[in-house]
Amino acid sequence: MHIKIGQKAPDFTLFDSERNKVSLADFKGKNVLILFYPQAFSSTCTEELCTVRDDIARYSNANAQVLGISVDSIFTLKRYRDEQGYNFPLLSDFNKEVSAAYDSLYENWIFDMKGVSKRSAFIVDKEGVIQYAELVETKDAVPDFEAINKCLAALN
């Protein structure tokens, strides 16, 4: 399914690194920044998520909840979150259903890995509608945080 701005965001429920179920619907009334990323502990993913961690006040001030999603297990995500001090939930899409629903799944990735989350960013507004969608095509690039921040500012 190709995600388009203006459509209702596909709902989901996933386990976070603390073994809690987290649903997109839990954040109705808030903006949500969803960041899909290929793999915990890789350099570009760490750079991306640390950028968000270090600027978390911006997202809080925009009434936005950040959610990081990868196909890593909850156990891997727990260690990754603890080691990096991430201050937002990391969700495990181990079964790859949410990544596929958001058209954010590589069929083939590096080292012959199959079914890895594609780096992408989505903003879901307070009503559950997609307001921003970006699929990052280069594996070493990160989402356009300037555009993300402009979109979030416009929603408030």
Mark residue 154 as left, alpha or beta (left: phi above 0; alpha: psi -120 to 50; beta: remaining): alpha
Q: Would residue 45 show up in a list of annotated catalytic residues for this protein? A: yes
Q: Which of 34, 45, 124, 136 is catalytic?
A: 45
3-state secondary structure 18-47: CCCEEEHHHHCCCEEEEEECCCCCCHHHHH
Task: Specify whether the CB–CB gap between 103 and 2 falls below 8 A.
Answer: yes
Task: Specify whether the CB–CB gap between 24 and 117 falls below 8 A.
Answer: no
Residue numbers annotated as active site: 45
